[in-house]
Amino acid sequence: MITTFFGSDALGSNGAFLVALVLGFGFGVALELAGFGSSRKLSGIFYFRDMTVLKVMFTAMITAMLGLHLLLAVGVITNDQIYFLPTVYGAQILGGLIFGVGFAMAGWCPGTAAVGVASGRLDAVIFLVGAMVGSVLFNELYPTLAPVYHWGDVGVKFLWAALGVSSNVFVLVFAWVAVVAFWGAEWIEKKVAGTGVYLGSRFLKVFSIAILVVGVAQAILPSATPTPVATAGAGEPALLAAVEAGEDHIEPEELADRLMAGDKTLVLVDIRTPAEFAAFHIPGAVNVSVSELPDYLAPHKNQGTIVLYSNGMTHPAQARDALARLGFNNAYLLTDGLDGFMRRVLKPVSLREAPVPSDLGAKIRAWRLFFLGSPKSSAPQPALAPAEANKLVLPEWLAQNLSRQDVRIIDVRPQPAYNSGHIPGAVRVDPEHLRGVVGGVSSMLLPGDMIARHLGLLGITPKTTVVIVPSEKLQDATLVAIALERVGHRRYAILDGGWERWVAEKRPVDTALPEVHPTEYPFDPKADTFSVDYRTVLQHSERRTAVLLDVRPADAFSGKKVEEARGGHIPGAVNRPFTSDVATTNGTTALKPVAELEQAYAGLIPSKDSPVVVSCRTGHQASQTFYVLKHLLGYRNVMWYDGGWTEWASRPELPVESKP
């Protein structure tokens, strides 16, 4: 089976870049050979003088469709290795109209304009600059245009499923359409421009027969496509029967009881926008966009119970039906959505329209206590999402989830402090145990397989939610966090305010050692895409292709204080000490407000997509800045130089800058 860059989550790797570069050059050469370097030739399709655009595009579509469908049919590639573009009817129709008008007016599209630029076409340069300006404007106006961008979003929807036919039939019909289009294009060229050189030619006949043969061959394959969507039409009666029998939804009261009972088979998914999810959501839910549901829920397919909810029931119903067509027989929607859950589960007894029986009243009070916390406060308590959260969790959430078997608390304080009292169920991990000599450099983060062994001894699995408890040194917690990142463990968060806040809020403390059952943690060697070595940092320094952020104290950065082989900093680096991101209030050390951090880093880093390399002396302090940039502020291209100044200063061939 083929493993794609998308399937292995390696789209940001050097290998993926190289393949994309080669394919891009090949695509450009093909377009140039086809004449796409001339706007006159491109615009010829609007006057029926030159149908090259239609012929080239149909060739690309039919080749991709037949090839991909065949690979799927014989099992060489599977659905989870392919990114399926979501269907957004309104936005895509509007975008197509804008694209078409632009094409008709200029004779270029962005791709062909790039070919034209390579050929020295001035009008192509003007068009491409305009496209870039338009992209920048769209980015700046996105908050306003977001409703249009998502207008008509129905997730991943295949045309053959919408037509109620199998993909095999669709492929065969589309093959015929392609052949008719090729012959029709040649006929039109001959009638209008007197060309149509391929009309009736041996090449066109052989090419057409080859397309039809491949189309027919795939149509008669015993298992043409393993995609459940391909047979959606056959499943419609069963789907309708399930809806009629009420087997497609779960009641709010049942959901509340199962969540309170800690049902580990339950997967609760909030499909609203991230902003709505952040404002309030049912504790224990994760936020997943509709288009990402099949990939995210693949591990839970027909295992346990998947419950989808939004404010109402329309979108969850559509998503649930789509999942059912994909073979998910365990997907349900929440009756009346979040509004119904608030009304039927969380609404106080005193505000209900009708008298409430005593037994139901007791249940309502228990629900409110569980989901909202202390009855003195009706403010919703946050839940921890495994991958989408900002990696901070409040003591309220942890207190409510102490008894969960899928939560592991890691205390990074010194051993005597841990022995004197810790959060119930917590295990103590010395961050230094996750570091050692690697490549002759001391204090390096251990290789992923060794970290995975550590996690297994702690009883952690990929489905375990890890909560890290720091004390005064937040970087101890972030060093453990970056170790989790190295092996691909995304379900973790740091306790906001750490141990001091937990104690200040008078939450439970224990001295007993927890019961731990070792596991075999599966190591993903491709998970670490963020660690860089000195060679990469040197390239960025010489070419000025990344922001080099040194987070050591200012006197170490300037060279005034020397603790390594040499003093100073990497040429081109900027300095923001890691201590600038935290503040201590009433004995509790915590990160500064996000708005304050946003403003500070906006002055150092041009955009959220700018490459950033964070470093310190040994990678310890830099792990905190990595955490802040990536998980709290949303910077998308953050790298971590583990060797830091210890390695850089020890290599005499590497350049050094210093300032008084």
Residue in the block written with tokens 């390579």: 118
Instruction: Provide DSSP, 233-244.
Output: HHHHHHHHHHHH
Positive or negative, the Cα torsion across 434, 437, 441, 446? negative
Closest CA to 175 of 210, 206, 199: 210
Positive or negative, the Cα torsion across 350, 401, 513, 477? negative
616 given a catalytic annotation: yes
Residue in the block written with tokens 């306003």: 144
CB atoms within 10 A of CB 294: 22
Which residues, other chains included, contact 397 with Cβ-Cβ below 8 Å and sequence gap of 6+?
Answer: 283, 381, 382, 383, 384
Closest CA to 619 of 484, 444, 432: 444
Spatial contact of 479 and 431, defined as CB atoms under 8 Å apart: yes
E strands along 216-321, which residues? 249-250, 266-270, 286-287, 305-309
3-state secondary structure labels for all residues of 18-41: HHHHHHHHHHHHHHHHCCCCCHHH
Buried b (16+ CB within 10 A) or exposed e, 577-611: bbeebbeeeeebbbbeeeeebeebbeeebeeeeeb
Instruction: Provide DSSP, 586-655.
Output: TTEEEEPPHHHHHHHHHTTSS-TTS-EEEE-SSSHHHHHHHHIIIIIS--S-EEEESSHHHHHHH-TTS-
**Tally of CA atoms within 13 A in the half-sphere of 399 that contains its CB:** 22
Which residues, other chains included, contact 110 with Cβ-Cβ below 8 Å and sequence gap of 6+?
Answer: 128, 131
> 474: part of which helix (H) or strand (E)?
helix 474-486
DSSP 580: G
Q: What is the CA radius of gyration of the chain?
A: 29
Q: Which is it for strands 427-428 and 305-309: parallel, antiparallel or unpaired?
A: unpaired
Q: Which is it for strands 465-469 and 547-550: parallel, antiparallel or unpaired?
A: unpaired
Which residues, other chains included, contact 565 with Cβ-Cβ below 8 Å and sequence gap of 6+?
Answer: 649, 650
CA dist., res. 104 & res. 39, Å (int): 10
CA dist., res. 202 & res. 57, Å (int): 21
Spatial contact of 431 and 412, defined as CB atoms under 8 Å apart: yes
Which of 458, 616, 629, 649 is catalytic? The answer is 616
> 466: part of which helix (H) or strand (E)?
strand 465-469
Spatial contact of 547 and 613, defined as CB atoms under 8 Å apart: yes
Catalytic residues: 616
